[in-house]
């Protein structure tokens, strides 16, 4: 692949590019077009506030497919003892909004996303759905810039930590059950969830707060009550497992 970014971005030189995009590209360790990476980081709320700029949803669509294929092939190859149903469950966990948001947080993706003011002020940089969608867009940008092999390698590098921690992998598959079990193990009461929502009906956002007695309180967000509660449960489970309130 061409490593001269000025050729395939049309921006003339690295110095004219958003420095944050350049730093993030180097962090990813792939030869990704700065222009495409910038697009991958552009949320529709930012695009709308800036006169209808292009945003990352088409790249997200592409990245979702690349992610699914990479994870499916890896699971089939590396886990020959699992049957179809078990493989499907693991794939669903690894490509879930919660798992992708966790991956995004691990590389500091939230601080790189271009968000509209309203979305930014309501905690958009840590919303699981925004993080997951942007992560898929980054994968799509990598595929278009560096090709399928580089995109697959990026996916596997990002999701492998989930596989290396079996307990967390199980928690990501069913975080609410895992949290309930963790609460019982430390003698805490059952988790209690509260839900708040905002935005118009066609773009409703949900924020869940889960409290486990005096042990931990955590929040999570998503495009549905279920996703928000799952995100909050995984965060609470992580804190209990780490021994942090």
Question: Mind listing the domains of the chain with CATH numbers?
Answer: 19-169 (1.10.1520.10), 172-243 (3.30.160.20)
Known binding positions: 60, 133, 136
Amino acid 245: pLDDT: 63
Confidence category of residue 136, pLDDT binned at 50, 70, 90: very high
* H/E stretch holding 88: helix 84-94
Summarised one tens digit per residue, pLDDT across range 69-115 is 999 999 999 999 999 988 988 888 888 887 888 899 889 999 999 99
204-219: b or e for each residue (b if 16 or more CB lie within 10 Å)? Answer: ebbbbbbbbeebbbbb
Helices (H) and strands (E) in the chain, counts: 13, 3
Amino acid 183: pLDDT: 93
Q: What is the mean pLDDT of residues 209-228?
A: 88
Tokens of 216: 């931990």
Amino acid 169: pLDDT: 62
Amino acid 24: pLDDT: 92
Q: What is the mean pLDDT of residues 6-31?
A: 66
- Dihedral sign from CA coordinates of 27, 99, 168, 220: positive
Instruction: Return the closest-CA partner of residue 181 out of 220, 212, 210, 226.
Output: 212
Helix (H, G, I), strand (E, B) or coil at 56: coil
Known binding positions for Mg(2+): 60, 133, 136
Summarised one tens digit per residue, pLDDT across range 59-69 is 999 999 999 99
* H/E stretch holding 151: helix 148-164
Place of tokens 């992560």: 135
CA dihedral 39, 74, 96, 237 (to 10 degrees): -120
Confidence category of residue 121, pLDDT binned at 50, 70, 90: confident
The set of catalytic residues is 64, 136
For the chain, what is the mean pLDDT? 86
């Amino acid at each position: 692949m061409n490593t001269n970014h000025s050729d395939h971005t049309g921006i003339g030189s690295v110095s004219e590019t958003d420095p944050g995009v350049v730093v993030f590209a180097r962090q990813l360790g792939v030869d990704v077009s700065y222009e495409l990476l910038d697009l991958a980081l552009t949320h529709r709320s930012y695009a709308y506030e800036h006169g209808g700029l292009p945003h990352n949803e088409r790249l997200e669509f592409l990245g979702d497919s690349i992610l699914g294929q990479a994870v499916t092939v890896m699971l089939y190859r590396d886990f020959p003892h699992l049957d179809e149903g078990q493989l499907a469950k693991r794939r669903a966990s690894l490509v879930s909004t919660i798992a992708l948001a966790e991956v995004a947080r691990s590389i500091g993706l939230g601080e790189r996303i271009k968000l509209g003011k309203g979305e930014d002020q309501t905690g958009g940089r840590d919303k699981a759905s925004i993080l997951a969608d942007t992560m898929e867009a980054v994968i799509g940008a990598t595929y278009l810039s560096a090709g399928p092999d580089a995109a697959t390698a990026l996916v596997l590098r990002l999701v492998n930590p989930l596989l290396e921690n079996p307990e967390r992998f199980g928690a990501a598959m069913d975080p609410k059950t895992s949290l309930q079990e963790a609460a019982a193990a430390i003698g805490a009461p059952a988790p209690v969830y509260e839900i708040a929502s905002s935005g118009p009906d066609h773009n409703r956002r949900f924020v869940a707060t889960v409290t486990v007695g005096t042990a931990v309180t955590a929040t999570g967000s998503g495009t549905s009550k279920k996703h928000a509660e799952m995100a909050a449960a995984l965060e609470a489970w992580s804190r209990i497992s780490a021994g942090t309130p």
